[in-house]
Amino acid sequence: MRWLLALACVLSSATALNADIDVQPQYKEHAAIVVTVVPSDVPQGARVRSSIAIQGATVRTFGDNHCVWAPPGSYIVVASGVWVLTEDVNIGDQTVPVLVDFGQYQETANFTIGEGTPPTPPPTPSKKKWLIIIEESSKRTSAQANLYTKLRVQKVPRVIIADQHDASERVRQYVALIPDGTYLPRAIVVDEDGTVVQQAPLPDTIDAVKELIQ
């Protein structure tokens, strides 16, 4: 009878409220973690019941503080609760608590234990390319001579022009890679370590030469 009277005297429906979850975004491994939930907009005199849930973690509640134990990783705090406001009403010789208002909330927050998500490493820079032009200078054409002049005038970097009869060891090792009977000049592209990346006939234009070493 007491609760029937109380329910019959409800003056308003459920009211939603907000709550602040006090938790740091990042914790070191084995650090003490204490989560506090502070509901807001709760009427004076209302009774509040709250709880939190963190999947994968152990939570122990001491008053308003929730102590958390968990291995390294990322976690979501789900805080929920209700509040109830009642008013005592005298009915005959009895005092009956009458429900005046009530509300509820659910909030979430995130935190990480340990190093967290490692930063994305920067892309590995590509090695610079060199172009070694192997020619037979005695058979150089006017078009080839014009191309070499443009390369020098525009100061195109990392381009070496060498005769196939050059006695230097550096040139001879690349001349040895050219198949017998191949028409010269030959464009040999190598990286900073001297590894051959590409071997092809020498392009006719300076723009095409530049593309080989980009």
DSSP string, 34-94: EEEEEE-SPPTT-EEEEEEE-TTSEEEEETTEEEEE--SEEEEEEEEEEEEEEEEEEETTE
- In order of 67, 155, 162, 175, 184, the CA distances from 180 in angstroms are 78, 32, 18, 10, 11
Could you tell me where in the chain the CATH 3.40.30 domains are found?
A: 130-212
Comparing C-alpha atoms, which of 139, 161, 138 is closest to residue 149?
161
Could you tell me where in the chain the CATH 2.60.40 domains are found?
A: 2-113
Are the CB atoms for 209 and 131 separated by under 8 Å?
yes
pLDDT in tens, the chain (214 residues): 344 334 334 444 455 567 788 999 999 988 889 999 888 777 888 888 888 899 999 999 887 789 999 999 999 999 888 888 888 888 888 888 888 888 888 889 999 998 755 556 667 677 788 899 999 889 999 999 999 998 888 888 989 899 988 867 777 888 888 888 888 999 999 988 888 888 989 998 989 988 888 8
Q: Give strand pairing partners of 105.
A: 81
What's the pLDDT at 8? 38
What's the pLDDT at 39? 80
State how far the Cα of 48 lies from the Cα of 29, in Å rounded to an integer.
33
Residue 169 DSSP code: H
May I ask the CATH architecture of the domain 130-212?
3-Layer(aba) Sandwich (3.40)
What's the pLDDT at 55? 93
State how far the Cα of 123 lies from the Cα of 47, in Å rounded to an integer.
56
- Does the domain at 2-113 match CATH 2.60.40? Answer given as yes
